[in-house]
Amino acid sequence: MNYPEGTPLPLHQPMLKWAGGKTKLMPFIRRVFPMDPARRWVEPFIGSGAVFLNVFATHALLSDSNDDLINFYKTIQTKKQEFIAQITALSEITFDKPGYYRLVEEFQTTEDKTRKSVLFYAINRLCFNGLCRYNQNKEFNVPWNKKNHLEPNFPRLDYLSFRLSGIELVTADFEQTLVAATGHDQIYCDPPYIKLKKDSFTKYDGKEFSEVSHTRLADLLVAAHVRGARVAISNSDTEFAVNLYEERNFKIHRLSAYRSVGASSGSRQAVSEILAVLE
């Protein structure tokens, strides 16, 4: 997708609400880590897809360890009309607390992948702060946000479907994805952030993303860079994060972000983040 030189690039909003969404940070990310159209775009933590939707890559590998998330994207990619029909039916229902938990129960028990993707989206829009959180038994455990109606955004769905055409989607952890990365790739990582405080939300699949995980991720990015890949990673602006990346010769860029998704309403505030880049 080409725009005349000097034209401000549009910002496309994702369908899903997601912790740490990057839409508002895209002008900064585009400037510091511009996409090379000759490379394959790789994201091991696809999340809401906000970055992918706004770099206009035509060749990409998108992965995540959350199979429910990847299943959602695969449904939009291959069964869009069936998804629309089912989500439209749900949008005609008036929800209360028991109705919301019936959706959650169906989501956790259905074996129909298309239905599961529809319920995943519905729950994302109807749960507290749009969190995607599971307990250690892999059960979704975010409460209702007291919203009575589901309001699907079909223009966003259409754009997401358009962008996913021909894109590779894989359920995999970051290590599997990065070990397979080549020297022709451009890799962007948006992992669960290093904690700023004790109640910071860093669990997305029932497991803590620890400092050991962050260190392993940084080492894999360095290895991919040695093979020729361009790499960048976002994280919280903490002493541990800065030292982790500077010790590996990443260039640190700082920016301020307003976080409106979190484990509590008190987490909605402006915070300093970093974008660490190896080129």
Q: Binding site for S-adenosyl-L-methionine: which residues?
A: 18, 22, 64, 190
Q: Which residues contact 146 (CB under 8 A, 6 or more apart)?
A: 97
Contact 160, 55 (CB under 8 A): no
Beginning with the edge strand found earlier in the chain, give each strand of the sheet holding 251-259 in spatial order. 168-171, 60-64, 40-43, 185-189, 230-236, 269-278, 251-259
Report the half-sphere exposure of 20 (CA within 13 A, side-chain side): 24
Query: For residues 202 and 192, what is the distance between their CA atoms, to the nearest angstrom?
Result: 5
Rounded to 5°, angle at Cα 162 from 157 and 78: 80
What is the DSSP pairing of strand 185-189 with strand 230-236? Answer: parallel
Give the N- to C-terminal CA distance of the chain in Å, as an integer: 24
Query: For residues 75 and 185, what is the distance between their CA atoms, to the nearest angstrom?
Result: 26
Rounded to 5°, angle at Cα 259 from 60 and 192: 50
Amino acid (1-letter code) at residue 113: K
Calculate the alpha carbon distances from 244 to 107, 167, 210, 229, 235 in Å: 39, 32, 13, 19, 11
Token look-up 């959180």 returns 133
Which residues does the annotation place in the binding site? 18, 22, 64, 190
Contact 40, 61 (CB under 8 A): yes
